């Protein structure tokens, strides 16, 4: 079954065609980065406007690259939550119209679950590792979310920990914005950090992981980034280890990145201990971070599965892929389905 997947939850206008939930026939991502760069952050009004201007052409390109006409598409999947409401509505309206006009099965899917589905996709060449068996641990790290969860199926996750304040990608973005490292912040910090000394500053880590959960069932897998962000932006001098004269911007980037990844790593270790699961699937834009990848890859007894960098960020292939799984078992969304900025009650049982 060839499914068209549409993604417009944030600043990527994306469409893809995926066959049988695995084989990517096309994956087009039109990024709006240049339009948001001067504001150093995503401006929701600009995002939805650009999606409106681009969605038709992006979907057309996805069909062209797959070598298919609209009549060869057999199902339509689209992100309906969570995300920027105005942006979500553009993709959702387009996908509904496409499905309705061609009388195709239609499904609205969750963006978080779709990120965790990404490693089940194969490139056009059919190459790739075998997808991990369920259950596994999910590490979802992006600009809007930082979640550690147990994943029992494509549509069944239990949140073990989440950020209690900022998301990890958001912390990268804010540090980069403050020091003028570049936009988007995560990739800019990652690049700059490669020439920096990660030991130049020793930033404090949140104490959350030391405490047991309130019900005594295990460790806390929650995360917190606002303390680290404040330390790096407002109290830099207090945490310097290296001589002041020799400190470079790259040192700030490298030391911050090391601490940011350490926070994730400790919470993940708690999750491994509590669940006994030793396979971790990472997803979301910040899963592209090179230090995070090497830190996790070097961990004995842990199998880490990272989607390729183009499948880590927002894309339509993960939407088409997970959409196929719902469509295959007969699930359909009504055309009255609407977008949601947040998913209520996601804290423990999700969605």
Q: Which stretch binds ligand KG4 (CB under 6 A): 100-108, 119-127, 157-165, 178-186?
A: 178-186
Q: How far is the CB of 285 from ligand KG4 (least distance, A)?
A: 2
Residue 193 interacts, among Zn ion, ligand KG4, none and using kind-specific CB cut-offs from 5 to 8 Å, with none
Q: Which residues contact 237 (CB under 8 A, 6 or more apart)?
A: 244
> Which of 137, 261, 286, 319 touches ligand KG4 (CB under 6 A)?
286
163 φ/ψ angles, rounded to the nearest 5 degrees? -70, 140
Whichever of 98 and 256 has its CB closer to ligand KG4, that residue is 256
Whichever of 17 and 140 has its CB closer to ligand KG4, that residue is 140
Q: Which stretch binds ligand KG4 (CB under 6 A): 127-135, 154-162, 204-212, 285-293?
A: 285-293
Q: Using alpha carbons, select from 111, 122, 116 the residue that is nearest to residue 136.
A: 116
Whichever of 194 and 212 has its CB closer to ligand KG4, that residue is 194
Q: Tell me which residues in 157-176 interact with ligand KG4 (CB under 6 A).
A: 169-170, 172-173
Q: Which stretch binds ligand KG4 (CB under 6 A): 13-21, 73-81, 84-92, 137-145?
A: 137-145
Helix and strand totals (H; E) in the chain:
11, 11
Residue 169 interacts, among Zn ion, ligand KG4, none and using kind-specific CB cut-offs from 5 to 8 Å, with ligand KG4
**Under a CB-based contact definition with an 8 Å cutoff, are residues 8 and 91 in contact?**
yes
* Binding flag, residue 314, Zn ion (CB under 5 A): yes
Q: How far is the CB of 210 from ligand KG4 (least distance, A)?
A: 25
Whichever of 284 and 323 has its CB closer to ligand KG4, that residue is 284
**Under a CB-based contact definition with an 8 Å cutoff, are residues 100 and 27 in contact?**
no
Q: Tell me which residues in 48-77 interact with ligand KG4 (CB under 6 A).
A: none
x/- site string to ligand KG4, residues 309 to 328, per CB under 6 A?
----xx--------------
What whole-number distance in Å separates Cα of residue 79 and Cα of residue 56?
16
Residue showing tokens 């609205």: 108
**Under a CB-based contact definition with an 8 Å cutoff, are residues 183 and 35 in contact?**
no
User: How many other β-carbons are positioned within 10 Å of the β-carbon of residue 270?
Assistant: 23
Q: How far is the CB of 43 from ligand KG4 (least distance, A)?
A: 14
Q: Which stretch binds ligand KG4 (CB under 6 A): 51-59, 127-135, 142-150, 207-215?
A: 142-150
DSSP string, 55-83: HHHHHHHHHHHHT--GGG--EEEEEEESS
In three-state secondary structure terms, 146 is: strand
Q: Which residues pair with 28 in a beta bridge?
A: 15
Q: How far is the CB of 28 from ligand KG4 (least distance, A)?
A: 15
Peptide bond into 16 cis (omega under 30): no
> Which of 86, 105, 184, 196 touches ligand KG4 (CB under 6 A)?
184
Residue showing tokens 């104490």: 207
Residue showing tokens 């009504």: 334
What whole-number distance in Å separates Cα of residue 84 and Cα of residue 46?
11
> Which of 27, 87, 142, 325 touches ligand KG4 (CB under 6 A)?
142
Whichever of 136 and 183 has its CB closer to ligand KG4, that residue is 183
User: How many other β-carbons are positioned within 10 Å of the β-carbon of residue 8?
Assistant: 35
| CA atoms within 13 Å, Cβ hemisphere of 4 | 35
Residue 86 interacts, among Zn ion, ligand KG4, none and using kind-specific CB cut-offs from 5 to 8 Å, with none
- Site residues for ligand KG4 per CB under 6 A: 10, 142-144, 169-170, 172-173, 184-187, 190, 284-286, 288-289, 313-314
- Site residues for Zn ion per CB under 5 A: 142, 314
């Amino acid at each position: 079954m060839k499914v068209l997947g549409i993604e417009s939850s944030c600043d990527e206008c994306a469409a893809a065609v995926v066959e049988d939930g695995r084989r990517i026939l096309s994956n087009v991502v039109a990024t709006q980065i240049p339009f948001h760069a001067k504001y150093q952050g995503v401006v929701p009004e600009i995002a939805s406007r650009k999606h409106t201007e681009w969605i038709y052409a992006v979907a057309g390109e996805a069909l062209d690259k797959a070598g298919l006409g609209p009549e060869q598409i057999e199902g339509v999947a689209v992100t309906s939550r969570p995300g920027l409401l105005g942006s979500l509505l553009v993709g959702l309206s387009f996908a509904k119209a496409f499905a309705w006009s061609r009388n195709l099965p239609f499904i609205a899917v969750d963006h978080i679950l779709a990120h965790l589905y990404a490693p089940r996709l194969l490139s056009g060449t059919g190459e790739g590792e075998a997808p991990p068996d369920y259950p596994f641990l999910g590490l979802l790290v992006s600009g809007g979310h930082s979640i550690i969860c147990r994943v029992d199926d494509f549509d069944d996750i239990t949140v073990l920990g989440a950020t209690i304040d900022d998301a990890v990608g958001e912390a990268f973005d804010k540090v980069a914005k403050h020091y003028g490292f570049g936009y988007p912040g995560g990739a800019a910090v990652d690049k700059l950090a490669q020439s920096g000394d990660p030991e130049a500053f020793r930033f404090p880590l949140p104490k959350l992981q030391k405490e047991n959960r309130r019900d005594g069932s295990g460790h806390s897998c929650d995360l917190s980034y606002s303390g680290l962000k404040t330390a790096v932006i407002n109290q830099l001098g207090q945490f310097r280890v290296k001589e002041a004269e020799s400190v470079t911007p790259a040192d700030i980037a490298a030391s911050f990145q090391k601490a940011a990844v350490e926070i994730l790593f400790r919470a993940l270790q708690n999750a491994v201990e509590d669940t006994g699961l030793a396979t971790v699937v990472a997803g979301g834009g910040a899963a592209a971070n090179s230090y995070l990848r090497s830190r996790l890859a070097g961990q004995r007894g842990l199998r880490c599965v990272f989607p390729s960098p183009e499948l880590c960020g927002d894309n339509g292939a993960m939407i088409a892929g997970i959409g196929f799984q719902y469509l295959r078992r007969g699930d359909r969304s009504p055309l009255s389905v609407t977008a949601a900025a947040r998913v209520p009650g996601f804290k423990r049982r999700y969605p």
